[in-house]
Chains A and B, each alone.
Chain A
Amino acid sequence: MSTKTERTEEAMTRGPSRRNFLRGAAAGTALIAGGAARAATPDPLITEVQPWASGFGDPVDAHPYGLPIRFEDDVIRRNVEWLTADTISSINFTPIHALDGTITPQGCAFERHHSGAIELSKQDYRLMINGLVDKPLVFTYADLERFPRENHVYFCECAANTGMEWAGAQLNGAQFTHGMIHNMEYTGVTLRTILEEAGLDAAGDLTDKWVFVEGADASSNGRSIPMEKALDDCLIAFKANGEALRKEHGYPVRLVVPGWEGNMWVKWIRRIEVMDGPVESREETSKYTDTMADGTSRKWTWAMDAKSVVTSPSPQAPITHGKGPLVISGLAWSGRGAITRVDVSKDGGKTWQTARLAQPGEKMALTRFYLDTDWNGEEMLLQSRAMDDTGYIQPTKTQLREVRGLNSIYHNNGIQTWWVRPTGEAENVEVS
């Protein structure tokens, strides 16, 4: 945006907006006083001509690329400072408590970097494929755009999502307990297309082969993926929600590994190597392995099991309207298929009601659910329970702990409980 545009915009909006604020404040007071079902006095927002109904709004081009209106400036990614040593190798959280529908806008979709979000231009981008292929190849960004493209909506969930809750209820907000997730429509070339372009004759029997993928940033994050998955549904993606990937999500090109833990979705992907075994890199041995109570650890726990959470009401999204009609809403997803059903309990799991899915569940994508209900103003222990098309039912945290103990860190897909008080406030709790 040029300085000139900014000044013009400022000059046009400064006067009216200040008046807006003063009038708005007065109107707000009146509303609070008369906020019952029957108004005692006429609402000045209706009876008085408001500035926005009389003067101009912004011209076109005021914001050549728009951001959300300022009233929404609290709907942002947030981090938890004590979780990591610094913000370069760190993570933040999607404000899922304030979003609706299923698509996550890129600007507030969680970030996870191991060495910061790098700036890599399309011109400087190279993708190499080597190893057990007929012909090792190098592609430019322009080359990638010439392969046939596909569009798919997938969720990307960090394996550590809800990881702080293994030992008990800890963080107070759906953003923090479940916000290491986003859901976007990706455009890209299948990994299969790229592998076939290089030729897999040299690899022989493909059933025991692996594909190692690594990023161009300083962390050079590398993960091993079995050939079966690589040929099944992985995407070399360059667009998300219709536009270029954001820097923080791997611009210009990232890998999409549907349904599998986010760490495998290598950003700034620069190299693909066909191998006869896994590399056993740092991120697939020392991290992203799940330690059981007896001290042994599961490895290669790639798939994200079915999971759900009520996003509203929740600690950051309390009920502010008192008793009466209430929309209980949330998200459900499964890395092993499509969500077929979500049940909601208001009494901590004694009784359940089946919620309404906004759209039929899609494979490895977020599904929005609603329970349109009438709140009697009494406390609730709100829970949601997802089922997917494999027949799997989301377990309770107690059930998970019985199998895994408390030290797994990753893959906590247990049922979440929000304790909603008569005031409408909610707290993260666990129940018997």
Chain B
Amino acid sequence: MSKFLKIAASLAMLGGSAHAETFGLGREALPEEIAAWDVAVRPDGTGLPEGSGDVWTGEEIFVEQCAVCHGDFAEGLDNWPKLAGGEDTLDHADPVKTIGSYWPYLSTTWDYVNRSMPYGNAQTLEPDEVYAIVAYILYSNYLVEDDFVLSNETFSGVEMPNADGFFVDDRPETEYPKWTGEPCMENCKENVEVTMRAMVLDVTPAGEGGEAAASDTAAPADEVSAEPAEEAEVEVAAIDPELIAAGEKVFKKCKACHQVGDGAKNRVGPILNGIVGHPAGQVEGFKYSGALSGMADDGLIWDEDNLSAFLADPRGFMKGTKMSFAGLRKDDDLDAVIAYLSDFAE
């Protein structure tokens, strides 16, 4: 009873009614369910699973899973986030905020990689892989040596450079009193000059319809049911199932931007159903780069040779492509991913 009163007092203090009515709705969450979803890691390391990973293992995984966007050295490609560098820039004109220069807690990196990465293939990493990736990111920021092993045990020994760089919102003290009272209505200033003008003019896109949202629900049913017979006749028997399976793994690198299979949609990159042997630049509703459109106009066909050459070195094969992918280094990977893609008819 006394416990109840204590809660009642707290609730009242928080400005609400003390009476907590319950409705008997919902069911008790099972421990396995809580374990599956409750993966949050706190600044003191609470929530970290047992495990470990070293810098070099981390580099391998990073190059495979993360470098497409973040660069081999976590330096960030194009507009994708930089994860390393930027130390001593926070008070500069354009601060470079990275894990090393800005993030106050190591737990945040672990938690974020674990729950949200790799982009387009999230929540697939094993704890040891997350430890390894985070170890590599720390190494890329010169925060640990190359023989470092990050684990639930060594976690608390890592110091984040900007740990003391934050303070709790002080607007109530520093701003609100300053900007309160009776505002000026007449003769508020002597002169008014235009000091700055919009530097980026005409940013409004030309009048295209907002079709993306509406067409999502309308199209697929018709398209799928329209041509079932023809698809069945496409010969797929010749392709080695093991090679296709290997290709599916390689395709994880592509998944952040490309979809294949039933219900695939254009994402950052176009749908790849039926791409092998198909003329380039033909996927409906996808905006290709000028480079690709140009080569498509010249009759580029995505046969195995061209696809192989493109995937091995996208920018070399097609100067100006917007596909921000470094390229597949191994011939085996190229063969496998092309086998995998040829398994998806248009």
Contacts and interface: CB of A to CB of B under 8 A. Distances in A.
A12 B168 CA distance: 63
Contacts of B186: 351-352
A280 B122 contact: no
Interface string A200-242: 1100111100001010001111100001100110000000000
B11 interface: yes
Contact of A138 (B26, B169, B203): B26
B251 interface: no
B198 A169 contact: yes
B14 A271 contact: no
B213 A172 contact: no
A156 interface: no
Interface stretch (B96-104, B294-302, B328-336): B96-104
Given A205-B10, A279-B42, A429-B198, A192 B176 contact: no
A268 B167 CA distance: 30
Interface residues of B, number: 99
Given A136-B28, A201-B3, A218 B123 contact: yes
Interface residues of A, number: 119
Interface in B167-217: 167-171, 174-176, 178-181, 183-205, 207, 209-210, 213-214
Contact of B165 (A74, A204, A270, A297): A297
Contacts of B122: 115, 218-220
B191 A432 contact: yes
Interface stretch (A35-43, A54-62, A250-258, A386-394): A386-394
B95 A291 contact: yes
A371 interface: no
A305 interface: yes
Interface in A168-192: 168-173, 175-176, 192
B238 interface: no
Interface stretch (B113-121, B135-143, B144-152, B273-281): B113-121
A9 interface: no
A88 interface: yes
B108 interface: yes
Interface stretch (B30-38, B239-247, B311-319, B337-345): B30-38
Contacts, number: 295
Interface in A394-409: 394-395, 399, 403, 406-407
Given A80-B203, A172-B203, A352 B79 contact: no
Contacts of B11: 200, 206, 231
A429 B209 contact: no
B291 interface: no
Contacts of A76: 209-210
B218 to A, nearest CB: 7
B108 A285 contact: yes
A76 B210 CA distance: 6
A199 interface: yes
A427 B194 CA distance: 11
Interface string B21-65: 111011111000110011011110000000000000000000000
A173 B200 CA distance: 11
Contacts of B213: 107, 246, 248
A211 to B, nearest CB: 12
A54 B108 CA distance: 67
Contact of B69 (A85, A271, A294): A85
A281 interface: yes
A273 B203 contact: no
A53 to B, nearest CB: 28
Contacts of B23: 146-147, 197
B87 to A, nearest CB: 11
20 contacts: A80-B203, A130-B34, A169-B198, A172-B202, A200-B11, A218-B120, A222-B40, A231-B14, A231-B16, A282-B112, A291-B95, A297-B90, A298-B166, A350-B187, A381-B192, A391-B181, A393-B183, A407-B90, A428-B197, A429-B196
Instruction: List 3 tightest A-B contacts by C-beta distance, closest first.
Output: A295-B91, A295-B90, A348-B192
Interface of A: 1, 3, 67, 73-74, 76-78, 80, 82, 84-89, 107-108, 114-116, 128-131, 135-140, 143, 146-147, 168-173, 175-176, 192, 196-197, 199-201, 204-207, 212, 214, 218-222, 227-228, 231-232, 246, 248, 270-271, 273, 275, 277, 279-282, 285-286, 289, 291, 293-303, 305, 315-316, 343, 347-352, 381, 385, 387, 390-395, 399, 403, 406-407, 419, 427-432
